[in-house]
Amino acid sequence: MKKLTSIIAIATSLAATDMVNAQSTEKKYQQNPFTLVYDGAITRNEKGEVNIHPVTYKLNGIDIAANIYTPANYDTSKKYPAVVVAHPNGGIKEQTAGLYAQRLAENGYITIAADAAYQGASGGEPRHTDKPQYRTEDIRGMADFIGQYAGVDANRLGVLGICGGGGYTLKAAQSDKRFKAVATLSMFNSGEVRRNGFQNSQLATIQERLKQASDARAQEAAGGKMLYSGVASITDEEIAKTPTDLYREGFEYYYRTHAHPNSTFLYTTSSLMDLMSWDATDQIELINQSLLMMAGSKADTKYMTDEAFKKATNAKNKELFLIDGATHIQTYWKPEYVNKAVNKLVDFFGKNL
């Protein structure tokens, strides 16, 4: 009887926790006028403070939704260094990309964080298309827009890519020399993981999964149902049973603590045709700009940063910075780790922009 009572109590507790999580999540994005979900987010623009400016612009015919952050006492007659911030896979501008954009603005930079085309609040059909060439073009598009923004010194333009945005940042910087300084945080090589599996766990099924992606495209071309890969929703029990820190903590971040209706783990299955044949480190020797790569010392994704850093043989002043004690997802939000990353970024961009 005691055991049954305990089980009921645990189940009731989990249900209550789910309800609290849902309510706090809803409150977070609905109560912020800019739907920002990170701690310390701007709630209103005030004179003399860091301000946020929602903007839209066209990129290859698609409407891109972005937020620009301007420093305290922003003066359009002055010139400021600027930083483009690329969001993680499944992420949007209102989450960690916005947090880092705001923190950099607090340190004197004009910053931009945009939703990728086909994702978030940006346009593009089919929804949730996730092709590397599009994500790379998104970064170039942010550079196009911010380079012409009032007060920006286009000769002092940096870029920060987080998670998947980090891999796409490495690719964009190979050819886009407008970026004078290149930084990544918790870099995720989307091509390597979609091809080989996380930590090379799916090497035996590469051809099978390519066939599935090819079949999905054939089905789309024939007017059939759009197929998706990834995770649409997840229970607390499923989260708890997820073995890797990246995905367990990622599910908690995206579906619980920092959830936003525009953020999703889904992507079109046909996107795998492009993802699996792509790699962030291919031609990485073309990067000759200053390079900073940051990762948590306990991140199970650190191996991707290590691989890329080693291959970036022509990068100038390159530095690998470990955030002691942090896992991958903890660098997105945990104050002590965010502070370490921001301090390092301010030092890096200050020296190289």
> Can you read off the two tokens belonging to residue 192?
């390597």
Q: State whether 17 and 73 are in the same domain.
A: no
Q: Do 112 and 235 sit in the same domain of this protein?
A: yes
Cβ partners under 8 Å of residue 94, min gap 6: 29, 34, 35, 36, 37, 38, 67, 260, 262, 263
Res 30: pLDDT: 86
Q: Which of 323, 327, 304 is nearest to 249 (CA)?
A: 327
Judged on CB neighbours under 10 Å (0-12, 13-18, 19+), 294 is: buried
- Residue 304 falls inside a structural domain: yes
**9 and 142 together in one domain:** no
Q: Are residues 327 and 291 in the same domain?
A: yes
pLDDT of 13 strictly over 90: no
Residues 9, 93 share a domain:
no
Helix or strand or coil: residue 219? helix
Facing residues of 52 across strands?
69
201 domain-assigned = no
Range of the domain at 65: 38-189+231-265+279-352
Residue 13 within any structural domain of the chain: yes
Backbone angles phi, psi at 178, to 5 degrees: -65, -25
Cβ neighbours for 274, distance < 8 A, ≥ 6 positions apart: 131, 132, 133
Mean pLDDT of 291-296: 98
CA distances from 58 to 34, 55, 62, 161 (A): 21, 10, 5, 21
Mean pLDDT computed over 235-240: 96
Q: Does any domain span residue 100? A: yes
- 252 and 157 belong to one structural domain: yes
Residue 122 lies in a domain: yes
| Same domain for 92 and 22 | no
Percent of the chain topping pLDDT 70: 92
Shared-domain flag, residues 101 and 172: yes
- Alpha-carbon span 242 to 324, nearest angstrom: 24
- Distance spanning both ends of the chain, measured CA to CA: 68
pLDDT (average), residues 122-128: 96
Provide the pLDDT for residue 28: 84
Please report, for residues 48, 290, 304, 305, the alpha-carbon distance to residue 173 in angstroms, rounded to integers and kept in the order given: 33, 10, 17, 16
Q: Which two three-digit tokens encode residue 259? A: 């959830």
Residue 143, H or E segment: helix 132-146
Contact 294, 265 (CB under 8 A): no
| Number of independent structural domains in the chain | 2
CA distances from 117 to 48, 133, 138 (A): 33, 11, 7
Is residue 207 a part of any domain in this protein?
no
Pair (122, 25) in one structural domain: no
**250 and 311 belong to one structural domain:** yes
User: ∠ at Cα 97 (327, 265), nearest 5°?
Assistant: 70
pLDDT at 27: 65
Examine residue 117 and state whether it is found in any structural domain, yes or no.
Answer: yes
Same domain, 112 and 69: yes
Model confidence at 26, pLDDT cuts 50, 70, 90, reads low
CATH number, domain with residue 242: 3.40.50.1820
CB atoms within 10 A of CB 6: 10
pTM: 0.92
Does the structure show a pLDDT above 60 at 293? yes
Q: Is the peptide bond before 126 cis (omega within 30 degrees of 0)?
A: yes
Contacts of 290 (CB under 8 A, 6+ apart): 180, 181, 182, 315, 316, 317, 318, 348, 351, 352
Do 111 and 24 share a structural domain? Answer: no
The model's pLDDT over 133-158, given as tens digits with 9 standing for 90+, comes to 999 999 999 999 999 999 999 999 99
Q: Is residue 314 part of a domain?
A: yes
Contact 281, 166 (CB under 8 A): no
pLDDT of 77 > 60? The answer is yes
**Is residue 110 pLDDT above 60, yes or no?**
yes
At residue 11, does pLDDT exceed 60? no
